[in-house]
Amino acid sequence: MRIDILTLFPEMFSIFNHSIIGRALEKGLIEINSHNIREFSLNKHKKVDDYPYGGGAGMVMTPQPIVDCIKATKKLNRGKVIFLGPRGKTFNQEIAKNLSKEKELIFLCGHYEGIDERVYNYIDLEISLGDFILTGGEIAAIPIIDSISRMVPGVLAVEESYTEESFYSGLLEYPQYTRPEEFEGLKVPEVLLSGHHENIRKWRRKQSLILTKTKRADLFSKINLTKEDIKLINEDNINKR
């Protein structure tokens, strides 16, 4: 996958040179490039913002540098142009899964009071990280790009690493344990030590269902429960009778 980021602060994306994404870059599984929008400004002072027509606080990013940056990047990357902004769909795992299947993507990071409305003619998709305000689109782009990149085949050691994580299947992930077997009087559930794969699978599924129901009722309401799911959830009530 190739990802190009259009930004005023390309140095912020050096974070991807580390850890799992850094190793994926070294292996050539993904390619992440950042382009400084300011370099495309025709203003002699490389200015990229101006006062809003009609008055108001703050500054607005001017269209010329952004559009020229998009056009130049499109010669290298034919993917969708994604703008990080408040009008977009709130980012979630489903969007991440869909975007991870793309071969090329372009991310546009806004700043100040936003971008000139005419830039939207060059945008294919707008994504919001949530209903809160950040100082710039770069901060929103980082977790979104990370979430997408880690699902590119080969980035993680095994596909199971992300398919069983929270939100991938619509459920929160089951509790995880590692050594020691007992810590401060708290023991690892016996079923995880049993070696019985089917019982472990059922326990994990049950825990995911219970956690999601108690912690994220909004997610649980969207799950199409199987007969096994209903049985697992009701097991404790049956045993108490």
The answer on pLDDT for 124 being more than 50 is: yes
Mean pLDDT for 125-129 is 96
Confidence label for 241 from pLDDT (cuts 50, 70 and 90): very low
Compute the chain's Rg from CA coordinates: 23
Confidence label for 235 from pLDDT (cuts 50, 70 and 90): confident
Confidence label for 113 from pLDDT (cuts 50, 70 and 90): confident
- The per-residue b/e assignment along 197-206, b for 16 or more CB within 10 angstroms, e otherwise, is eeebebbbbb
Name the more confident of 6 and 222: 6
Confidence label for 162 from pLDDT (cuts 50, 70 and 90): low
Mean pLDDT for 47-67 is 94
- What pLDDT does 164 receive? 52
- In degrees and rounded to multiples of 5, residue 36 shows phi and psi of -80, 110
From CA 1, how far away is CA 14, in angstroms rounded? 18
Q: How far apart are the two ends of the chain, measured CA to CA in Å?
A: 55
- What pLDDT does 160 receive? 47
What is the third-level CATH fold of 2-149? Answer: Alpha/beta knot (3.40.1280)
pLDDT tens-place string over residues 187-226: 999 999 999 999 999 999 999 999 999 998 988 999 999 9
| Binding-site sequence positions | 110, 129-134
Domain assignments of the chain as residue spans, ordered by start: 2-149, 164-239
Q: What percent of the chain has pLDDT over 90?
A: 85
From CA 122, how far away is CA 106, in angstroms rounded? 11
Contact predicate 4/69, CB 8 Å: no
From CA 98, how far away is CA 238, in angstroms rounded? 40
Domain 164-239 listed as CATH 3.90.25.10: no
| Binding-site sequence positions for S-adenosyl-L-methionine | 110, 129-134
- What pLDDT does 161 receive? 52
